[in-house]
Amino acid sequence: MTDNFEIFDVEEEKPRRKKNFFKRIFWLVVILLILGYFSTSIYQVGPSEMGLVLTFGKYTSSTGPGIHWRLPYPFQSHRIVDIKTLKKIEIGFRTVNYRGRVEYQPVTEESLMITGDENIVSLEAVVQYRIADPVKFAFRILNGFDMVKFATESVLREMVAINPIDNVLTSERDRIAMETAAKVQKILDEYGAGIKVENVYLQEVAPPDEVVKAFDDVNSAKQDKEKFINEANRYANDVIPKAQGQAQKILRDAEAYSYERVAIATGEAKRFKAMLKEYKAAKDITEKRIILEAIQDLIQNSKEKVIVDSSDTLKLLNLPEIGGGTK
């Protein structure tokens, strides 16, 4: 029985086991490192995202939503870009959460702008954009957020500077917002930013707090001015037509009187010429007839007639009857 047993030297076996143990640990670490190295090749793309794969630092392909694998670094790398989320940039204010409540903090260095008529206005705006070309957005610009923000702020200042304050505050707000969006889009396209501007909203446009009272006084004065102008126009619309009608009536009366006087003068001239012709033909008879006609007119136009003869006897005669006039 003793021949079947193999005698081991325990003191020699311990170092060998220890060596094997460290060898297994080493290979386990190596395997884990290899697995960890290759695990960096796996990446996930979200539903609203797009993955951009770079081979030796150069863009080579795009991947859609899901789990993907690529060659590990330094052979390949990837970038993930959100292409569907609508992003927002605030200009002139910031939205902050304070104890569960949403509050807005003004940023005066962004909001204060000078209008075309040299007034100061506080303008708060929001620009919304999304990534239209992820390759251009990822590899042609460094910071899309800052580019959109600075371009929008610059264009807004330009638009406000060419408009009077009344247009900025009231009637032209929508036009300014639309033209700002178009100009910002043009700038971004020129840089090849791969960004599409969806909207530009003018949240609040108002005078600075320091001049609100004075601005209200100015607006009140302007409203009073408009009121008085409207009242004056209403009065003018009532009076002027009447005056014009009266002036036309006076002109027509004057013209009628002119025609009448011309006609009378023409008739008198004709009568005088006829009488002159008779006078030249028979001077004595014509003189007597003219004198008698003059006396007849005088007597007819007199209410009382007194005739005194050489005998100083007062006699009252009805001369119109004698002259052939009415009784």
What secondary structure, in 3-state letters, does 50-81 show?
EEEEEECCEEEEEECCEEEECCCCCCEEEEEE
List of E strands, 86-173: 87-91, 93-98, 101-106, 112-114, 120-131
pLDDT top residue among 187 and 205: 187
Residue 296, pLDDT above cutoff 60: yes
Q: Which residue has the tokens 């003004």?
A: 106
> How buried is residue 326: exposed, middle or buried, by Cβ count under 10 Å (0-12/13-18/19+)?
exposed
How far from 240 is each of 184, 247, 249, 252, CA to CA, in Å?
A: 53, 10, 14, 18
Residue 239, pLDDT above cutoff 70: yes
Nearest to 123 by CA among 51, 54, 68, 205: 205
Instruction: Write down the mean pLDDT value for the chain.
Output: 86
- Find the Cα–Cα–Cα–Cα dihedral 245, 249, 250, 252, rounded to 10°: 140
The answer to whether residues 72 and 35 touch, using CB atoms and an 8 Å cutoff, is: no
196-216: average pLDDT: 85
181-210: average pLDDT: 91
Residue 326, pLDDT above cutoff 50: no
Residue 202, pLDDT above cutoff 80: yes
Helix axes 283-300, 212-281, angle to 10 degrees: 130
Percent of all residues in the chain with a pLDDT value above 70, rounded to a whole number? 88
Residue 14, pLDDT above cutoff 80: no
Nearest to 276 by CA among 261, 287, 266: 287
9-24: average pLDDT: 75
239-264: average pLDDT: 95
The answer to whether residues 79 and 54 touch, using CB atoms and an 8 Å cutoff, is: yes
> Residue 319: which pLDDT band, with cuts at 50, 70 and 90?
low
Q: Report the range of poorest mean pLDDT among 31-40, 71-80, 147-156, 216-225.
A: 216-225
- Find the Cα–Cα–Cα–Cα dihedral 297, 299, 302, 308, rounded to 10°: 150
Query: Cis (ω within 30 of 0) for the bond into 164?
Result: no
> What is the structure's pLDDT at 327?
43
> What is the structure's pLDDT at 2?
46
The answer to whether residues 196 and 129 touch, using CB atoms and an 8 Å cutoff, is: yes
Nearest to 93 by CA among 209, 204, 207, 228: 204
> Residue 299: which pLDDT band, with cuts at 50, 70 and 90?
confident
H/E run at residue 139: helix 134-139
d(C-alpha 77, C-alpha 112), whole Å? 44
Percent of all residues in the chain with a pLDDT value above 90, rounded to a whole number? 51
Q: How many CB atoms lie within 10 A of CB 278?
A: 13
